[in-house]
Amino acid sequence: MVQELLSKNLYLCQEIMGHAQISVKKDHFFLSGFTWMASRSLSCSHIDGVKKLKGLRYRNLSSQIVGKFSRNTQDISQDFELPSAYETAMEALSTLITQKKRNGTSAVNGQNQKLDRMLRYIKILGLEEKIAGLKIIHVAGTKGKGSTCAFCEAILRECGFRTGLFTSPHLIDVRERYRLDGMDICQENFLQYFWDCWNQLKANISEDLPMPPLFQFLTVLAFKIFVSEKVDVAIIEVGLGGKLDSTNVIKEPIVCGITSLGMDHMETLGDTLGQIASHKAGILKPQIPAFSVPQLSEAMEVLQERANELMIPLEVVAPLTLEKLNGTRLSLSGDHQLSNAALAVSLCKSWLRGTGNWKRLFEDAYEEDGLPQQFLRGLSAARLSGRAQIVVDPLINASGGNKRVSGDLTFYLDGAHSPESIYACARWFSAAAVERKDLSLSSVSSGVETTETAWTKGYIKHCHNKEPDKRLKRILLFNCMDARDPQILLPKLVDTCASSGIYFSKAIFVPSISAYTKVTSATSTIPSYVPGKDLSWQFNIQRIWERIIHGKDVLDQDLKINASAGLPPREFLYEEASRYCPEDRYFASSAVFPSLPLTINWLRDCVRENPSLRLQVLVTGSLHLVGDVLKLLRR
C-alpha cells in the first residue's frame, strides 16, 4: 500500500492524493529496465468538489489559485519520504538522458529520424488513431509559449472543458509538465501511465529502435495521459523549435500559435532570426488556422511565406488593452504578458469555433470587442511557476505575534535566460520592486525610491537628496548555463533596471543544484554543498559583473576557489559597492557562494539578525536556478 501524501505544490488549491493498491514483485526489476505491476483502478481524489456532468463535464475548478505556501504541507513533507516507486521512476527517466549538457550532441543522429521514431513509438503504444482524436492547440515560439499555453488552459477550463496541458521544462517535479483540469497529475496516475509506456516500449526495442531520449518519452507520455484521461482539449507546448520537435507528430490540431521569436538555441535552430522562424513555422498545417503575435520583420516574412505555401491565413494578434480587459488584472505579471494573453484569447476563440462550441456557449455575443466573463476569469487565474513569480519566504515571514522578530525576505523569481526575456524580466522586477499597483500594465518612473542612485565613472554612488530607506536591499541571485552569454545578459539586466531607477546593492553568483544528467523529484536529497565544486564559471560571471560596476577588469583571470571557502560575513551586505580590494580578492559589490542552500541560509540569517532589514532578491538567469530556489523554499 502506497499512500500519497498531501501535494506540496506552491499553490493552496491543489490535490489531496488518494490511495492505490500496488503490488510490486522484486523479480520484476532487472538491470536492463524496470517493470511496474499495479492495480488498474488507480485514481486521484480532489478537494475541489468537481462534478462530472454530461457535455461540459468539468465545470470550473477554483479560479482563485493563490501563490502562497502552506505551513501544513511543509510539516508533512518533513515527516515522510517519497515513495520508493516514484524514486524508481525518476531513476528510469534519468537513463533516457542522452546529452551530458544542454548544447551537447544527441545520441539520436538525424532530426528526421527522430520524428520517424516518434511515430513508431506512438504506434507501439496504440496511440496513432487516438491522438488524431485529440482536439489540440499547438504552440511554438521563443518566449512566452508556456505563458500562452497556461492562459489557454485556464480560459477553456473556465468555459467548462476538461483540460490537459503539456509544458516544459519542469522546475521541481516532472509531474508539473502534465496538468489535468489545472492540477499536476497525481503520483498514482503518473506511475500507472509511466510504467505502461515504459514496459511496452522496452519490450519492443531493437538495434534500430532504442528507448526514446528523455523529451521524446515525456512527449509520448503526454499523449498517453491525455488520451487515457479523455480530455476535451489538449494544449501542447513545443519543446524546441517546431518543425523537427517531438510534438510535431501532431498532424491535425484545431489551431496553431506562434509566440514572440528571438535568438535562442542557435546551436540547433540556426544563428539568424529567419532560420529560427523557419523551425517555428514548421508546426503550421494545411487548412489549420494560425495566429502569431507581432514579430520583427525578418521573422514575420518567414512565417508569412510558410503560411502562403500552405494557403492558410496567418492572423497577427495585437496585445490586449485595458479597455479589452475591462478592469481584469492578468494573473501573470509583466507588460509582455499582454501579448501572450491576446494570443491565448485568439487561440481559444478559434478552438471554440473549430469544435462547434462558440455559438453554443456565447451565441456570437462577443464577436467584436468584448471578452466573455469566462475568458476574463481564465486570464486572471492562469499560473506558471518560475515566471515573474513573487514568493515571500515562509520561514522568515511567518507570523510571530505583534512584534516582528526578523526582517522581510522576498524572492522575485523569473527563469529568463535570453536577451529578450532578461529585458522583460528587468521591466517586471523594476515595477514589482516598487510595489506598483498596476505593475503588469504600466511603466515605472525613476523617482519612486527614497534613495536616488547615480552611476559616476562606473561606480555606484548614493545621493541622499531624500531620506534613504536604510532597511531596503536589492540582491541579484544569478547563474546561467555555459551555453548562455552573461556578457549580454547582465548588461541588459542592469541597464534596463537602471532606466527605471532600480539598482542592486549586491550580486551573488552561485552554482545550481540541478544536474542536466539526472531527473530529480520535489523531495530529492539536497546537499548543503559539494566539496571541491568547480566554481570557475561563477567567477567568470562575477568578473563580468565587476567590470559592469567598476568599468574595468578588477579580477585575476586565473582566479579560482575551493567550495570549502567560507561565506562572507553578514557585514558584506551593508558595505558600499565602491569599496573593493582586487589585491586581496575582495569585492564589496558581489560574491561567489559555494552552494545555493548555503546562500539561502545566509540570506535568512541576515534578516533574522536585523528586524528592520528588507531584502528583495531577484533570482534569474536560469530556470534550473529558479526551480532549485523554489524547491529549497518549500522545505
Structural element, H or E, at residue 226 = helix 214-228
The 10s digit of each residue's pLDDT in 150-186 is: 999 999 999 999 999 999 999 999 999 999 999 999 9
pLDDT given at position 552: 66
Instruction: Tell me the C-alpha distance between 351 and 307, whole Å.
Output: 19
Instruction: Tell me the C-alpha distance between 267 and 246, whole Å.
Output: 18
DSSP symbols for 48-89: S---B-SSS-B----S-------HHHHHHHHH----HHHHHH
Instruction: Tell me the C-alpha distance between 151 and 328, whole Å.
Output: 14
Are the C-beta atoms of residues 283 and 256 closer than 8 Å to each other?
yes
Instruction: Give yes or no for residue 442 having a pLDDT over 70.
Output: no
* Chain centroid to CA 228: 26
Instruction: Give yes or no for residue 81 having a pLDDT over 50.
Output: no
Cell numbers placing 92: 528510469
The whole model's pTM is what? 0.80
Q: How many residues does the chain have?
A: 635
The 10s digit of each residue's pLDDT in 558-597 is: 544 444 456 888 889 887 765 555 544 557 789 999 999 9
| Sheet bearing 590-592, strands edge to edge | 389-392, 408-413, 614-620, 472-478, 506-509, 590-592
Grid look-up 505502461 returns: 196
Instruction: Give yes or no for residue 15 having a pLDDT over 90.
Output: no
Are the C-beta atoms of residues 149 and 165 closer than 8 Å to each other?
yes
pLDDT given at position 367: 57
Instruction: Give yes or no for residue 381 having a pLDDT over 80.
Output: yes
pLDDT given at position 337: 95
Q: Are strands 183-184 and 178-180 parallel, antiparallel or unpaired?
A: antiparallel
Cell numbers placing 605: 540569517
The residues, ordered by sequence, that sit 6+ positions from 402 with a Cβ below 8 Å of its Cβ are none
pLDDT given at position 579: 56
Instruction: Tell me the C-alpha distance between 3 and 187, whole Å.
Output: 10
From the list 389, 388, 382, the residue with the least C-alpha distance to 63 is 382
Share of the chain above pLDDT 90, in %: 59
Instruction: Tell me the C-alpha distance between 258 and 291, whole Å.
Output: 6
Instruction: Looking at 83-213, list the stretches that DSSP marks H as alpha helix, in order from N- to C-terminal side.
Output: 84-94, 111-124, 128-132, 145-158, 187-202
Instruction: Give yes or no for residue 8 having a pLDDT over 90.
Output: no
Q: Rounded mean pLDDT of the chain?
A: 79
CA distances from 125 to 86, 194, 202, 304 (A): 22, 12, 11, 36
Among 401-415, 440-454, 573-587, the range scoring the smallest mean pLDDT is: 440-454
* Chain centroid to CA 51: 30
Among 83-92, 163-172, 192-201, 544-553, the range scoring the smallest mean pLDDT is: 544-553
Instruction: Tell me the C-alpha distance between 431 and 529, whole Å.
Output: 34
Strands (DSSP E) found in 176-279:
178-180, 183-184, 233-237, 255-258
- Cis omega (within 30 of 0) on the bond before 212? no
Higher per-residue confidence, 482 vs 588: 482
Grid look-up 536560469 returns: 622
Instruction: Tell me the C-alpha distance between 409 and 617, whole Å.
Output: 8
Instruction: Tell me the C-alpha distance between 232 and 136, whole Å.
Output: 9
Instruction: Give yes or no for residue 455 having a pLDDT over 60.
Output: no
The residues, ordered by sequence, that sit 6+ positions from 457 with a Cβ below 8 Å of its Cβ are 551
Instruction: Tell me the C-alpha distance between 437 and 435, whole Å.
Output: 6
Band (pLDDT 50/70/90 cuts) for residue 68 is: very low
Instruction: Tell me the C-alpha distance between 521 and 84, whole Å.
Output: 12
CA distances from 474 to 86, 408, 603, 616 (A): 39, 12, 12, 5
Grid look-up 497556461 returns: 150
Cell numbers placing 601: 541560509
What is the CB neighbour count within 10 angstroms for residue 62?
A: 16
Instruction: Tell me the C-alpha distance between 446 and 386, whole Å.
Output: 26
Instruction: Tell me the C-alpha distance between 399 and 449, whole Å.
Output: 27
pLDDT given at position 116: 93
CA distances from 320 to 130, 341, 343, 371, 428 (A): 36, 7, 9, 11, 17
Cell numbers placing 61: 475548478
Instruction: Tell me the C-alpha distance between 411 and 628, whole Å.
Output: 13
Among 225-239, 245-259, 374-388, 578-592, the range scoring the smallest mean pLDDT is: 578-592
Cell numbers placing 221: 507520455
Instruction: Tell me the C-alpha distance between 489 and 499, whole Å.
Output: 16
pLDDT given at position 423: 95
**Helix 111-124 vs helix 187-202: angle between axes, to the nearest 10 degrees?**
110
The 10s digit of each residue's pLDDT in 328-380 is: 999 999 889 999 999 999 999 999 999 999 999 987 666 556 899 999 999 99
Instruction: Give yes or no for residue 124 having a pLDDT over 60.
Output: yes
**Helix 145-158 vs helix 337-354: angle between axes, to the nearest 10 degrees?**
50
Instruction: Tell me the C-alpha distance between 245 and 239, whole Å.
Output: 6
